[in-house]
Chains A and B, each alone.
With several copies, the nearest count.
Chain A
Amino acid sequence: MWRQAKWDVEILTEIDNSTARGSGPEVPFTHQFKDIELEVPEELARKTEPNIPSLSELEVVRHFIRLSQMSFGVDAGMIPLGSCTMKYNPKILDALALNSEIEFLHPLQDEDTVQGLLEILYTTERWLAEIVGLDKCVFQPPAGSAGEFAGALIIRKYHLDRGEPRDEMLIPDSAHGSNFASAAMAGFKVVKIPTRGDGCVDLDALKAIASNRTAGIMLTNPNTLGIFEKDILEIAEAIHDIGGLLYYDGANLNGIMGIARPGDMGFDIVHLNLHKTFATPHGGGGPGGGVLCVRRDLIDYLPRPILVREGGKLRWDYSCGKCIGMVRAYHGNITSALRTFGYIAMLGPKGLREVAETTIINTNYFIKRVLEKPYYELPYSPEKPRKHEVVLSAKKILNDTGVSAEDISKRLLDHGVHAPTMYFPPIVDEALMIEFTESEPKREIDRFVEILHRIAEEAYRDPSKVKGSPTATSVGRLDLVKANHPKTLAPSTRYVRGEGGSR
């Protein structure tokens, strides 16, 4: 029997300042400058007093410790969110990424003073290039989506530079939403490619759609159904033949790392999500780390600066001939890069492959077990092995009992496991998208199967119980209508108090 902690926790901006009459911690060296005049003329000074209380240190600690106990991370239990690759975040990597040495490094610091750090970054970059089978990588993109955007910009610029601007980007209908959005942000018209009954990109449709307006294609492989795009070499040929480029969404690399490489498949540009495959923690939403890798002939297009070795020293090359510009300030999320260094070093070549191998075994073991009972279905070639993830459908349960994929997800929470990704990809009805990664022990997968079965049985026996879930979490099911309705919208306490309002 699991039960989440529950605490009554005041909202910080609603704490009555009169009961918390502190004045904050000592600020370093304040006493040394007391004699210096403070120049804030009346007309430039802040007038309103923000509702930010001054609490004691203990109150701050308790506030956030309590909130943390009402949160759920991989450290506490399974988070089988498909597409999100919620793997274990090894603690040793915290030691590399979070320390006072790194904290004080300024991004514009003289390169001579950070050769050690740059060596690590460069080494890691080389390793990632080898893993994806391409030639040069940059850490600049702050996340996967930003990598896609940068990649799309490269594709755009590439065609522009060749004097034949192209405006269409092909994306499978099963793709992640960010692919579409990134392509649009880079100025492309998105052309969707249908998925065949076997769960792969419809090659014929693709060939029919591809034209000299086609700038390229954005694909992930294995795709969001967990299925390897077996026609990938033909797809690559088709796209390259019409002069397009292939972009690889690296979010699903965990299913093939060390087994097959995007570069070998014909991809020209790859992004990696360090917070997926390379175990950087997700932080409740971020920050992650993006990496962009390209074939040799596209290096000039990479966002600047890039890291280059010159005369035994490493330095940042800001020169931007053909480059697409800069997708974020400075050099990327360095802490993720450091974690990646440690992750790869600790696993070694065999360990990296083991990640993919165990991931695949976990997925297919689960499929076999969950399908042993006739509740959930596996659309698109159920006999085909999946790779990093699997998408089940709860359509039958919905039809039979009225219990939806969402209800099932909520009920899962009552067992102390996080729900899978729901309703994605959109080509599967009542989708439950499940990814264990290499991190979940067999015992946990077994337990997850049992819970899924138990919930399905409950749906047939007592659907209202499932629909009334969750009850073991710190709060019951939330009113999303109220949350989103313009009349009751409450995105901040200031907003709730009324515009411009302030005590």
Chain B
Amino acid sequence: MYHVWIPNSSEELKKDMLRYIGRSFDELIEDIPRELILRRDLEVGFGRPLSEYELIRIYRSYMDKNRKPKIPPFMGGGLCPTYIPQVVRYLASRGEFYTAYTPYQPEINQGILQALFEYQSMMAELYSIDVVNASMYDGSTAVAEAFRLAMRVTRRKAILAPEIMNPFYRRVAETWIEPVGGKIIYYRVDRGGQPDLEDLEDKADRETAAIYLENPTYLGNIVEKPEELKNIAGKTGSLYIVFSEPTSLAIFKPPGEYGADIIVGEGASLGLGLNYGGTTLGILGVRRDQSLIRQLPGKLVGMTTDLKGSERGFTLILQTREQHIRRERATSNITTNAALMAVQAAIYISYLGMSGLRRLAETIARKTRYAIDHIYRRREYMNLAIGARYFYREVPIRFRGDYGTIYRRLVDQGIYPGIRLDPLLKGFSNCGLFCFSDVHSRDDIDLLFESIDKVI
């Protein structure tokens, strides 16, 4: 059966090639046990090859069953809707980038390598840390790998993490470290969303591989004294891992400046879009410390020269850490990563530039403040679920009434409010986690709260 995606599939050409080979097709598969050969067509697709246009019509007939909100969703939890600038889309869709493989042959892929190096360098700038790898799958697996990295470097098994840790990351990290004996111990967070330092001191000991902090926290508030966690880690010889939303670092103090040994992040906000949670970018970096660097998982691009020393070039480095060389002793099994998302994030950051990033972060911070004012004006039936002073992008709201009902009524009106914290975090019943990002206008935010007023 000829198909335009399969150049040699015309019957004549196949016959020619088989004639040259000197065997029939059946002979080419005669080593497959007869009883395994499928004697029927697979029951897949629509029974016949489709044309592009037919596919598009079918796709539309499915997708039209989705319901579209009237205004951009306010759902948070680490992933928020964002706008992808058209240049980002345009440049990331260059065939030479997106149809390339991992640049194992550096000479023919200097472009991708430089772009990844620039991603690494810009992330290093943003987080104020020296080494950032060329991407992990997403924030959750980056966190899990950060935990495993800390365990390898310290040869210890325990991670101290905040009780309000991102609940999805928590489940992923548990899944990832449990088989190798790791465990997470959760430290308390006070009503102001700040780590309970006493509890942390209590729990930290010589078994502690690392202290983990999310800043801004999962609930959106800024941790006010993050350097104190570094002190505690210092005392027990533990590492300090900090997860931060990258855009927040344009205005807030970056982890590298308050002592993080390992930094982690999720890059989706850097022009990647939500894609139902699918197209993500795990950011992972370490201090300039050879043992940390040697234990870093994932690909790393470095600058070098050609053999003559006359021209600059880029190549993958320290590959001996990786699975294809080190096998079961590799720092990780990661092979395919999220390179294109790293390139895309690099494009996004360079498009916004530092001034644009700062303006973005400032506007988001202002919107967050604006939303909080809305909340304050509705003290009778809603309040901040944690009494923190500073929030960025996300805000947890506790409702007097049943949030499930409010939530559903809003969705029915085409307004998608904050995610329900109820099943996710203990102690947050009737709470929603709301996100205010670049895509929300003042009218959108006003409409959200006015709609809440109406359904309550």
Q: Are A44 and B253 in contact (CB under 8 A)?
A: yes
Q: Are A284 and B343 in contact (CB under 8 A)?
A: yes
Q: Are B50 and A479 in contact (CB under 8 A)?
A: no
Q: Are B357 and A37 in contact (CB under 8 A)?
A: no
Contact partners of A105 in chain B: CB under 8 A: 66, 274-276
- One of B78-86, B193-201, B202-210 at the interface: B78-86
Within 8 A of A (CB), among B380-429: 389-390, 408, 411, 416, 419, 423
Once bound together, how far apart are the Cα atoms of A81 and B78, in whole Å?
A: 37
Closest residue of A by beta carbon distance from B123: A492
Can you identify 6 A-B contacts, CB atoms within 8 angstroms?
A52-B125, A95-B86, A177-B330, A331-B278, A358-B14, A474-B107
- One of B153-161, B184-192, B228-236, B361-369 at the interface: B361-369
Q: Are B313 and A478 in contact (CB under 8 A)?
A: yes
Contact partners of A28 in chain B: CB under 8 A: 51-54, 83, 363, 438-439, 441
A: interface residue count bin:
35 or more
Once bound together, how far apart are the Cα atoms of A32 and B439, in whole Å?
A: 12
Q: Are A258 and B38 in contact (CB under 8 A)?
A: yes
In the complex, whether A119 has a CB less than 8 A from a CB of chain B is: yes
- One of A205-213, A340-348, A454-462 at the interface: A340-348
Closest CB of chain B to A13's CB: distance in Å?
A: 4
Known: A329-B139, A335-B275, A491-B302. 13 other contacts (CB 8 A): A30-B359, A73-B97, A92-B85, A145-B333, A146-B141, A149-B333, A177-B323, A275-B336, A282-B102, A326-B168, A330-B278, A413-B105, A476-B306
Residues 31-70 of B, flagged 1 when their CB comes within 8 A of A and 0 if not, give 1110111100111111111111111101100111111110
Selected from A36, A259, A342, A349, the residue in CB contact (under 8 A) with B47 is: A349
Closest residue of A by beta carbon distance from B129: A494
Once bound together, how far apart are the Cα atoms of A324 and B178, in whole Å?
A: 10
Q: Are B130 and A365 in contact (CB under 8 A)?
A: no
In the complex, whether A401 has a CB less than 8 A from a CB of chain B is: no
Q: Are A68 and B304 in contact (CB under 8 A)?
A: no
In the complex, whether B109 has a CB less than 8 A from a CB of chain A is: yes
Contact partners of B37 in chain A: CB under 8 A: 259-260
Q: Contacts A260-B36, A478-B307, A489-B317: A285 and B337 contacting too (C-beta < 8 A)? A: yes
In the complex, whether A308 has a CB less than 8 A from a CB of chain B is: no
Within 8 A of B (CB), among A34-64: 34, 36-41, 43-61, 63-64
Q: Are B125 and A473 in contact (CB under 8 A)?
A: no
In the complex, whether B273 has a CB less than 8 A from a CB of chain A is: yes
Q: Are B5 and A56 in contact (CB under 8 A)?
A: yes
Contact partners of B334 in chain A: CB under 8 A: 143, 145-146, 178
Residues 175-186 of A, flagged 1 when their CB comes within 8 A of B and 0 if not, give 011101111111
Q: Are A45 and B251 in contact (CB under 8 A)?
A: yes
Counting from the closest, the 4 A-B pairs by CB-CB distance are A24-B356, A107-B277, A54-B353, A283-B340
Selected from A32, A61, A473, the residue in CB contact (under 8 A) with B108 is: A473
Selected from A54, A89, A109, A361, the residue in CB contact (under 8 A) with B8 is: A361
Q: Are B32 and A230 in contact (CB under 8 A)?
A: yes
Q: Are A114 and B9 in contact (CB under 8 A)?
A: no
Residues 236-260 of B, flagged 1 when their CB comes within 8 A of A and 0 if not, give 0000000000000111111011000
Closest CB of chain A to B74's CB: distance in Å?
A: 9
Contact partners of A281 in chain B: CB under 8 A: 98-99, 340
Once bound together, how far apart are the Cα atoms of A342 and B100, in whole Å?
A: 21
Q: Are B132 and A479 in contact (CB under 8 A)?
A: no
Q: Are A119 and B65 in contact (CB under 8 A)?
A: yes
Closest CB of chain A to B113's CB: distance in Å?
A: 8
Q: Are A153 and B179 in contact (CB under 8 A)?
A: yes
Contact partners of A79 in chain B: CB under 8 A: 100-101
Contact partners of A182 in chain B: CB under 8 A: 333
Cross-chain pair count, CB within 8 angstroms: 775
In the complex, whether A488 has a CB less than 8 A from a CB of chain B is: yes
- One of A240-248, A291-299, A433-441 at the interface: A433-441
In the complex, whether A452 has a CB less than 8 A from a CB of chain B is: no
Q: Are B328 and A419 in contact (CB under 8 A)?
A: no
Within 8 A of A (CB), among B307-338: 307-309, 311-313, 315, 317-318, 322-330, 332-338
Q: Are B117 and A476 in contact (CB under 8 A)?
A: no
Once bound together, how far apart are the Cα atoms of A1 and B99, in whole Å?
A: 23
Within 8 A of B (CB), among A155-182: 156, 176-178, 180-182
Once bound together, how far apart are the Cα atoms of A326 and B318, in whole Å?
A: 30
Q: Are B138 and A361 in contact (CB under 8 A)?
A: no
Closest residue of B by beta carbon distance from A470: B107
Contact partners of B351 in chain A: CB under 8 A: 24-25, 55, 57, 60
Contact partners of A483 in chain B: CB under 8 A: 302-304, 315, 317
Once bound together, how far apart are the Cα atoms of A36 and B370, in whole Å?
A: 7
Selected from B55, B90, B171, B318, the residue in CB contact (under 8 A) with A345 is: B55
Closest CB of chain A to B308's CB: distance in Å?
A: 7
Once bound together, how far apart are the Cα atoms of A385 and B309, in whole Å?
A: 45
Once bound together, how far apart are the Cα atoms of A43 and B453, in whole Å?
A: 37
In the complex, whether A216 has a CB less than 8 A from a CB of chain B is: no
Selected from A49, A64, A90, A113, the residue in CB contact (under 8 A) with B347 is: A64
Contact partners of B180 in chain A: CB under 8 A: 185, 187
In the complex, whether A464 has a CB less than 8 A from a CB of chain B is: no
Q: Are B288 and A73 in contact (CB under 8 A)?
A: no
Selected from A64, A69, A482, the residue in CB contact (under 8 A) with B305 is: A482
In the complex, whether A117 has a CB less than 8 A from a CB of chain B is: yes
Q: Are B253 and A117 in contact (CB under 8 A)?
A: no
Q: Are A27 and B51 in contact (CB under 8 A)?
A: yes
Within 8 A of B (CB), among A356-379: 357-358, 360-362, 364-365, 368-369
Residues 95-109 of A, flagged 1 when their CB comes within 8 A of B and 0 if not, give 110100111111111
Within 8 A of A (CB), among B286-301: 288, 290, 293, 299-301
In the complex, whether B224 has a CB less than 8 A from a CB of chain A is: yes
Q: Contacts A178-B323, A261-B38, A264-B36: A283 and B442 contacting too (C-beta < 8 A)? A: no
Closest residue of B by beta carbon distance from A346: B50
Contact partners of B337 in chain A: CB under 8 A: 143, 285-287
Once bound together, how far apart are the Cα atoms of A152 and B359, in whole Å?
A: 46
Once bound together, how far apart are the Cα atoms of A131 and B49, in whole Å?
A: 16
Q: Contacts A115-B66, A328-B172, A349-B44: A233 and B5 contacting too (C-beta < 8 A)? A: no
Q: Are B66 and A491 in contact (CB under 8 A)?
A: no
Closest residue of B by beta carbon distance from A58: B7
In the complex, whether B341 has a CB less than 8 A from a CB of chain A is: yes
In the complex, whether A239 has a CB less than 8 A from a CB of chain B is: no
Contact partners of B336 in chain A: CB under 8 A: 142-145, 273, 275, 282, 285-288
Q: Contacts A114-B66, A282-B100: A491 and B301 contacting too (C-beta < 8 A)? A: yes
Q: Are B66 and A116 in contact (CB under 8 A)?
A: yes
Closest CB of chain A to B26's CB: distance in Å?
A: 10
Q: Are A475 and B327 in contact (CB under 8 A)?
A: no
Q: Contacts A284-B343, A335-B278: A68 and B63 contacting too (C-beta < 8 A)? A: no
Selected from A64, A421, A486, A496, the residue in CB contact (under 8 A) with B94 is: A64
Contact partners of B139 in chain A: CB under 8 A: 329
- The CB with the most chain A CB atoms within 10 A, among B6, B135, B337, is that of B6
Selected from B33, B49, B84, B107, the residue in CB contact (under 8 A) with A348 is: B49
Once bound together, how far apart are the Cα atoms of A256 and B33, in whole Å?
A: 12
Q: Are A92 and B315 in contact (CB under 8 A)?
A: no
Residues 111-137 of B, flagged 1 when their CB comes within 8 A of A and 0 if not, give 110111110111011101011101101
Contact partners of B126 in chain A: CB under 8 A: 50, 52
Q: Are A477 and B21 in contact (CB under 8 A)?
A: no
Q: Are B277 and A334 in contact (CB under 8 A)?
A: yes
Selected from B27, B69, B169, B339, the residue in CB contact (under 8 A) with A283 is: B339
Closest residue of B by beta carbon distance from A157: B179
Contact partners of A22 in chain B: CB under 8 A: 2, 4, 7, 10, 353, 355
Selected from A107, A334, A442, A491, the residue in CB contact (under 8 A) with B131 is: A491
In the complex, whether B455 has a CB less than 8 A from a CB of chain A is: no
Q: Are A110 and B168 in contact (CB under 8 A)?
A: no
Closest residue of B by beta carbon distance from A266: B36
Q: Are A478 and B315 in contact (CB under 8 A)?
A: yes
Closest CB of chain B to A254's CB: distance in Å?
A: 12
